[in-house]
Amino acid sequence: MSDFIDIVMNPQFIVTMLAALCVFATVLTVAMPMLQRDQMNRRMKEMAIERSKMRSVRLADMAAKERQGAGRLRYTSKGFMQRIVDELRLRERFDNDEIRENLKRAGLRGEGNIVRFMFFRVVAPIAMFFFALFYLYFVYETDYPPMINAGIAFGAGFLGFYVPNMFISNRVQKRQQSIQQAFPDALDMLLICVQSGMSVEAAFGKVGKEIAPQSIELAEEMTLTTAELSYLQDRRQAYDNLAKRTGLPGVKGVATALAQAERYGTPVGQALRTMAKENREIRQSEAERKAAALPPKLTVPMIVFFLPVLFIVILGPAAMSYMALDK
């Protein structure tokens, strides 16, 4: 183990590994656009499947009402994760509306994603605990007492309990950023479609297809809203669902304006024009905030990477001349 640590800590080995990593990153950057699959078509197919499921659920509800509570016609086999969730009764402990809304905001819909989330909420702490034990006792032998190593492993297991939530929060943040970036442009296109005489459902469907190259996440939400406007009895519920799935104040304001226009019969075009202007201002203020936060973030990289090189360039010739005179 000591020989392995000496090899790993060798400066020549570290430089070689860094050079290999840079070459791999360069090759990956060049090859990734060539190997990337068509994400837009794949996600649009997923939205079509989601719309078909929504229609099937709607038809199944109607059939269930007609049968007046008849039993299920088919039995679906349970997978490994589903069996673990059922045996441990994780739904009673973790399943609530907040978790379901967070998963929807992350783009993870359906019961399968809920089961996976609950499964990893239980498995992640155990896996990180045993991984920490294995690393501390077999890979990197520390000089700490066994109790301290066990405490570190327990800390890693406690951190693993929050790993699924951190993953969901990170995915929600990225998804909201993509939606917020493209939403003002979608509102402008929606306004044009409505003013040209198209219905709200047709406008949402058209804009969902046109906005897909810019933001696939927003295209998904608008496609689902189109389906809900077609199948839900209360159209205002479709707008409320759109606001809950995104969790953005700008989208919530547009949903409220559309719901009020649906209820009171006010012009939809005027509301969309006002909300499009407000969302453009929100996007601009967000860009200004990021630009204002950029100088403090660049301070540390400039100190670490720029100033040493500058000192070498300025003081290097003087040091070499001094050494030559000293000889």
Question: pLDDT, tens digit, for every residue of 166-224?
Answer: 999 999 999 998 998 888 889 889 989 988 888 888 899 899 889 888 888 898 888 88
Q: List the one residue out of 92, 114, 115 whose CA is nearest residue 101.
A: 114
DSSP one-letter code for 115: H
pLDDT at residue 104, as a whole number: 86
- Mind listing the pLDDT tens digit for each residue in 240-296? 989 988 888 888 888 888 888 888 877 888 888 888 888 888 888 888 888 888 888
DSSP one-letter code for 107: T
CA 131 to chain centre: 26
Residue 311 in this model has a pLDDT that exceeds 70: yes
Q: Provide, rounded to the nearest whole percent, the portion of the chain with pLDDT above 90.
A: 4
- Mind listing the pLDDT tens digit for each residue in 129-171? 888 888 887 777 677 787 888 888 888 888 888 898 999 999 9
Taking the C-alpha atoms of residue 157 and residue 151, their distance in angstroms, rounded to an integer, is: 10
Taking the C-alpha atoms of residue 207 and residue 213, their distance in angstroms, rounded to an integer, is: 11
Taking the C-alpha atoms of residue 283 and residue 261, their distance in angstroms, rounded to an integer, is: 25
Q: List the one residue out of 246, 240, 234 whose CA is nearest residue 279.
A: 246
The domain locations on the chain are 1-30, 81-161, 173-286
Q: pLDDT band at residue 6, thresholds of 50, 70 and 90?
A: low
Q: List the one residue out of 161, 229, 225, 215 whose CA is nearest residue 186.
A: 215
Taking the C-alpha atoms of residue 262 and residue 272, their distance in angstroms, rounded to an integer, is: 13
Residue 7 in this model has a pLDDT that exceeds 80: no
pLDDT at residue 69, as a whole number: 39
Q: pLDDT band at residue 70, thresholds of 50, 70 and 90?
A: very low
DSSP one-letter code for 196: T
| CA distance from start to end of the chain | 45
- Write out the H or E segment, with its range, that includes residue 232: none
Bigger pLDDT: 45 or 312?
312
> Residues near 239 by Cβ (< 8 Å), separated by ≥ 6?
225, 255, 256, 258, 259, 262
Buried/exposed 126-150: b ≥16 CB within 10 Å, e otherwise: eebbeebbebbeeeeeeeeeeeebb
- Mind listing the pLDDT tens digit for each residue in 82-105? 888 888 787 777 778 888 888 888
Cβ atoms 271, 259 nearer than 8 A: no
Cβ atoms 229, 220 nearer than 8 A: no
Cβ atoms 101, 111 nearer than 8 A: no
- Mind listing the pLDDT tens digit for each residue in 244-256? 888 888 888 888 8
Lowest mean pLDDT segment, chosen from 24-33, 180-189, 234-243: 24-33
DSSP one-letter code for 69: S
For 9-20, what is the mean pLDDT?
A: 71
Taking the C-alpha atoms of residue 203 and residue 198, their distance in angstroms, rounded to an integer, is: 6
Cβ atoms 168, 117 nearer than 8 A: yes
Q: pLDDT band at residue 73, thresholds of 50, 70 and 90?
A: very low
pLDDT at residue 26, as a whole number: 78
pLDDT at residue 75, as a whole number: 36
User: Residue 67 corresponds to which tokens in the numbers above?
Assistant: 């049968």
Q: List the one residue out of 85, 253, 264 whose CA is nearest residue 180.
A: 253
Q: pLDDT band at residue 301, thresholds of 50, 70 and 90?
A: confident
Vertex 291 angle, CA 289 and 294, to 5°:
110
Name the H helices within the chain: 2-8, 11-35, 39-67, 80-88, 90-94, 97-105, 111-134, 146-160, 163-195, 200-210, 216-231, 235-246, 249-264, 268-301, 307-326
Q: How many CB atoms lie within 10 A of CB 7?
A: 10
